[in-house]
Structure 1
Amino acid sequence: METMLKNRRALITGSNNGLGETIAKMLAKEGVAVIIHGRNEERANQVAEEIRLEGGNAQVVLGDLSTDNGAETVAKKSLEGGPIDILINNAGAYAHTGWMDTTPQNWLTTYNLNVVSYVRMIQLILPSMKKNGWGRIINIGGGLGTQPLAIQPHYSASLAARHNLSVSLARELSGTGITSNVVSPGAIINLQTEQWLKTQAPKHNWGSNFDEIEKNAVRELVPNDRGRFGRPEEIAAAVLYLVGPHSDYVSGAILRVDGGTVKSI
């Protein structure tokens, strides 16, 4: 499938590691000039260099999106190379706390990091998209936004807000040539998660090899129709679809990539 994304420019927030890194690398392979963002300069430069070694185009922009000044710096530096065609809001954070040990300040901090930072970047990047009459805004959400657990209530609420604002933005952008959509991942495996599962396996009798561990851990922690964790590449592929020309009729959508974890219609 021809994505026709060559020479588009994309800013992927929180792309110096994890899911954001995977998204950036997949877009770069399609000819997109990617802007790697983070707060760890060494790691961001490493990701950008890996992309360049594969023949891709990548630059690095550093900044803290939790402040107005930090977000403005990131946007200004990103736009120096030309208009931003694609904005992937991915940066965020969470903590494993529950209702009674998550303070009101924790709620405020989480909302600022996970929601207001998205708003900042949208408001700063959107004018260049409107000027060109084309753009793609993808906000990374999550299944906990629609099917929350008892733990991490502040994080789940922030995901719900991401979903809501994305649909509202799609209505705002009607007729502009710009779309706003959500990719909502389920539980995704990465190096840190894999290591944690291996350390927990003996305590829960999940098995000794990772195939066993994954299957049993999913059954207990995040039951889904596929019986496994998702892979970052599967989330990145959904992003790739939504930023490409074949998704032009998709607006205000929440694309779940969760193996059927969320049970709704």
Structure 2
Amino acid sequence: MDLQLAGKRALVTGSSSGLGKAIAERLAAEGVGVVVHGRDVARTEKVAAEIRGAGGRAAVAIGDLSTDEGAELVVGAALADAPIDILVNNAGAYAQLSWAEATPETWRATYEGNVISGVRMIQRLVPQMRRRGWGRVITIGGGLATQPMASHPQYNATLAARHNLAVSLARELKDTGVTSNVVAPGAILVDHVKELLTGIAPARGWGETWEEIERGAVRDTIPNDTGRFGRPEEIAAAVAYLSSPLADYVSGANLRVDGGTIRNVA
């Protein structure tokens, strides 16, 4: 299916690895010129080089979005060649902490990195989308926004804020040609997750092969209707759809890609 994205440009924050990398690669495969963002120069440049090697178009933006100065550097690099049509707010940090361990300073830093970082990008890039009459803002959220766990409360709360700001932005952008939506992944099998699960599998009795480990881990930690973890490419496909003109009539939506982990009708 032609998603009609050829010639568009996208900034994918936090795309030097993991989920963001998969999103940047998928958009590039659809003909989008992507700006790969990260804080580590070597890793970010490597992703951009891989995209170019596959025939795609990629530029690089380096900066820490948790500061105004870093955000200015990223936006300056992103807009150096042409306007940005698609903003994917993916960057964020996660820490497995209890309520006792998550200090007020941890909460502040997590909110700064996971929420205000995206606000900085929106405020700097959406006005020029409005002027041109077309654009996409896609926020990467998660099921913990609506069904939080007892652990990592500081992270759960920032996901809820990301969902909320995305819908508020959609209302603000009414009749402008710019839409705002959320993609909410379930548990996604990025490299560090696979390494973690493989390491704890013997103690949990999950088996020896990866197929056995995945089934056991899903059963005991994130039961869902598919019996497996999601893959980064599946989240990237959802982002690509919402980025496209085919999704013109979708705004303020939460597209859950979680295998049925979250079980409600809203």
Q: TM-score, normalised by structure 2?
A: 0.99
1:105 paired residue number:
105
Query: Counterparts in 2 of 1:80-229, with a 5 A limit?
Result: 80-229=80-229
CA separation in 1, counterparts of 2:191 and 2:175?
Answer: 42
- Note the C-alpha offset of 1:198: 0.9
Percent identity over paired residues: 59
CA separation in 2, counterparts of 1:3 and 1:55?
Answer: 18
- Superposed CA offset, 1:24-55 (max 9, x none): 00000111000000001001111011111111
- Superposed CA offset, 1:168-195 (max 9, x none): 0000000000000000000000111111
Kept in 1, the 8 Å contact 2:60–2:77? The answer is no
CA separation in 1, counterparts of 2:2 and 2:145?
Answer: 32
- Note the C-alpha offset of 1:94: 1.2
Counterpart secondary structure, 1:61: strand
74-83 or 207-216, which deviates more: 74-83
Give unmatched runs, 5+ long, in structure 1.
none
CA separation in 1, counterparts of 2:198 and 2:170?
Answer: 42
Kept in 1, the 8 Å contact 2:9–2:84? The answer is yes
- Superposed CA offset, 1:128-148 (max 9, x none): 101211000000001111111
- Note the C-alpha offset of 1:196: 1.0
- Note the C-alpha offset of 1:245: 1.3
CA separation in 2, counterparts of 1:83 and 1:9?
Answer: 7
Letter in 1 for 2:246: H
Counterpart secondary structure, 1:10: strand
CA separation in 2, counterparts of 1:235 and 1:14?
Answer: 14
Counterpart secondary structure, 2:252: coil
CA separation in 1, counterparts of 2:228 and 2:122?
Answer: 34
- Note the C-alpha offset of 1:77: 1.7
Query: Counterparts in 2 of 1:31-42, with a 5 A limit?
Result: 31-42=31-42
- Superposed CA offset, 1:117-162 (max 9, x none): 0100000001110121100000000111111110010100000000
CA separation in 2, counterparts of 1:234 and 1:196?
Answer: 21
- Superposed CA offset, 1:195-249 (max 9, x none): 1111111001001111111011111111111111000000000001100111111
Q: TM-score, normalised by structure 1?
A: 0.99
- Note the C-alpha offset of 1:74: 0.7
Q: Does 1:49 align with 2:72?
A: no
Q: Once superposed, what is the RMSD of the aligned Cα atoms?
A: 0.6
Give unmatched runs, 5+ long, in structure 2.
none
CA separation in 1, counterparts of 2:263 and 2:106?
Answer: 29
Q: Does 1:248 align with 2:248?
A: yes
1:6 paired residue number:
6
2:62 paired residue number:
62
Counterpart secondary structure, 1:91: coil
Kept in 1, the 8 Å contact 2:163–2:182? The answer is yes
Aligned residue pairs, count: 265
- Note the C-alpha offset of 1:72: 1.3
CA separation in 2, counterparts of 1:113 and 1:184?
Answer: 18
